[in-house]
Each structure stands twice: as C-alpha cells, then as structure tokens.
C-alpha cells in the first residue's frame, strides 16, 4: 500500500439494506452518500456507525486491500473481531495484527498497558506484533469536521502502514516518521 493510501468507501447500511448494520456488512465502494451535504439536523444515534462496525470495516480493509494484496497467507479463523484481528504469514514469519480505526479528526492509539500485553502474548507464540491504524474521514467536509461516521456515508480511508510494536515503555504515535512504518 502506498503511504496515505486513500480509497472512497461507504458502509452498505441503508434503509433498504438494514442487515448491513451487522459487522459482516463491512464496506463497499459507493458512488455517493445517502446523506445530503453537511451535518444532518435530526441526527440520531442509530445513524452513526458503531465502534464494532468501524472495526469490522477496518479489519476487512486491511485483510483484503493490504494483507492479501501483498502476498500474505491469512491463517484459518481470521480475520475476526477479537484480538489479534488477523494472523498472517509470509516468508516464514508470523504476524499478529491488531486493527484500530479512527474517525477524523481523532486518532486512536493503543494504551501502553494493552500494547505491552499484546506484544508479550505474540512473542510467546513466536510472532511479530503489528498495529494497523486505519483512518476514516467523511468526504463531506461538514461531517468530517464534526468527526461523524454515518451509516451510508462515503469515506476516505487512510492507512499509512503497519507499526511494529515493541516492548518500549511508552509509544508516542505522534513521533512516528513515515520511514518507521512497516510496509511489506
């Protein structure tokens, strides 16, 4: 994947397709949003994508658009919603990947405690721990500035590359340089 790879995606959940609200609904390319321009005046909580839906979309994106495209073999039972989200092998190495989505303008990073436990678990099993930060931004500037991820909207998806997780006491995500990303 190129640095700051962007692709317009939309969640399939529309009034005509309510079952897409389930995590298996994931994403598909869509030509336009089901929403009018700007932030809806009567926005309801059920109009927003849930954290679980965002994770499902991000995991599917990483699995299909990055992992498979780069020649990795995804292990049986993956991808999944539990951590690690994806376990894949390539060139005799095993990678355990945790995927976290963020909605612009926020960035979600792993807590140090969670990250250290994850790295310890992966190393015990002989793997390499990777973090896949996936960013979503509505293509509508008003919804983007409001930090909204709405069902049926169209998003720019950004994936800068994997962050190889180590045992350092604290990881400051703001100091990661483009050349520090792992891009298989």
Q: How many domains would you assign to the chain?
A: 1
3-state helix, strand, coil in the chain (%, to 5): 30, 25, 45
Q: Are strands 73-74 and 27-28 parallel, antiparallel or unpaired?
A: unpaired
Residue 39 lies in a domain: no
Residue 117 lies in a domain: yes
pLDDT at position 6 is 39
Residue 140 lies in a domain: yes
Region of poorest pLDDT, from 4-8, 137-141, 167-171:
4-8
Residue 61 lies in a domain: yes
Residue span of the structural domain in which 121 resides? 5-32+48-180
H/E element, 94: strand 93-103
Residue 121 lies in a domain: yes
Going from the C-alpha of 179 to that of each of 46, 100, 131, 157, 159, the distances in angstroms are: 39, 20, 15, 20, 14
* CB-CB contact of 97 with 162 (8 Å): yes
Residue 71 lies in a domain: yes
Residue 156's nearest CA partner among 172, 169, 143, 165 is: 143
Residue 64 lies in a domain: yes
Judged against a pLDDT cut of 60, whether residue 4 lies above it is answered with no
Encode pLDDT of 123-160 as tens digits: 999 999 999 999 999 999 999 999 999 999 999 999 98
Region of poorest pLDDT, from 1-5, 39-43, 73-77, 164-168:
1-5
Q: 77 exposed, middle or buried (CB, 10 Å; 0-12, 13-18, 19+)?
A: exposed
Residue 38 lies in a domain: no
DSSP 159-182: E--BEE----S---GGG--GGGSB
Cα separation of 36 and 1, whole Å?
31
pLDDT at position 29 is 52
pTM, two decimals, is 0.79
CATH for 86 = 3.40.1350.10
Encode pLDDT of 84-105 as tens digits: 999 999 999 999 999 999 999 9
Residues 110-132 have a mean pLDDT of 95
Judged against a pLDDT cut of 80, whether residue 63 lies above it is answered with yes
């Amino acid at each position: 994947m190129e640095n700051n790879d962007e692709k317009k995606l939309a969640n399939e959940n529309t009034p005509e397709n309510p079952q897409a609200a389930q995590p298996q609904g994931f994403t598909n390319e869509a030509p336009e949003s089901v929403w009018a321009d700007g932030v809806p005046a009567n926005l309801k909580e059920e109009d927003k994508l849930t954290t679980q839906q965002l994770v499902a979309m991000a995991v599917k994106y990483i699995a299909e658009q990055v992992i498979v495209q780069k020649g990795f073999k995804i292990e049986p039972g993956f991808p999944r919603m539990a951590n690690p989200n994806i376990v894949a092998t390539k060139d005799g190495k095993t990678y355990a990947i945790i995927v976290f989505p963020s909605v612009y303008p926020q960035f979600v990073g792993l807590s140090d405690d969670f990250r250290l436990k994850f790295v310890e678990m992966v190393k015990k099993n002989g793997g390499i721990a990777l973090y896949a930060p996936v960013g979503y931004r509505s293509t509508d500037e008003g919804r983007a500035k409001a930090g909204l991820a709405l069902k049926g909207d169209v998003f720019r998806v950004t994936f800068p590359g994997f962050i190889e997780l180590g045992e350092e006491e604290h990881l400051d995500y703001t100091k990661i340089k483009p050349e520090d990303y792992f891009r298989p």
